């Protein structure tokens, strides 16, 4: 007689993990609310900041308007990204200073989409990498569209 455990093993043989077959696809809505405590980059002790959002895989870029002479800018601008594979994508948020003769990067934050996938929606403040101070306030929302990977 065969033991009962052989049958249980037989159920899993030849099957792949469901995670490998599912692409988490959907729409990521990002609202750039504000930045706080940005470092001064201009001679007048201020900055002319704007934010560039980039989805790493698709390389789609959007940017906010420039707010002049402001270290605590409030944008309240919303952008949507169609994301094809959210489990393997990242959102990059860069804060730049606009100048007449060019632009200077103030700082950035890079995030995976894990938290928004799990929570569906959240708002948080993200410290900027690079400067000695500054954080970016973002609101993220996820609208899923499940799709199975073609075999």
User: For 70-84, what is each residue's pLDDT tens digit?
Assistant: 999 999 999 999 999
The rounded distance, in Å, linking the Cα atoms of 71 and 57 is 31
Mean pLDDT of 17-24: 63
Mean pLDDT of 86-93: 95
Q: What is the pLDDT of residue 23?
A: 76
Find the helix or strand (DSSP H, E) in which 5 lies.
helix 4-12
Reported as a pLDDT band with limits 50, 70 and 90, residue 89 is very high
CB 109 within 8 A of CB 128: yes
pTM: 0.81
């Amino acid at each position: 007689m065969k033991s009962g455990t052989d049958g249980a093993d037989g159920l899993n043989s030849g099957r792949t993990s469901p995670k490998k077959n599912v692409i988490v696809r959907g729409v990521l809505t990002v609202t750039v609310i504000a930045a706080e405590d940005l470092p001064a980059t201009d001679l007048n002790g201020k900055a002319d900041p704007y934010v560039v959002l980039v989805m790493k895989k698709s390389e789609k870029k959007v940017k906010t308007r420039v707010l002049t002479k402001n270290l605590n800018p409030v944008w309240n601008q919303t952008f949507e990204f169609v994301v094809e594979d959210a489990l393997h994508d990242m959102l990059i948020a860069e804060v730049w200073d606009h100048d007449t003769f060019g632009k200077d990067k103030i700082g950035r934050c890079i995030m995976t989409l894990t938290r928004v996938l799990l929570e569906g929606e959240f708002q948080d403040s993200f410290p900027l990498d690079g400067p000695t101070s500054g954080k970016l306030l973002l609101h993220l929302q996820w609208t899923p569209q499940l799709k199975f990977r073609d075999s």
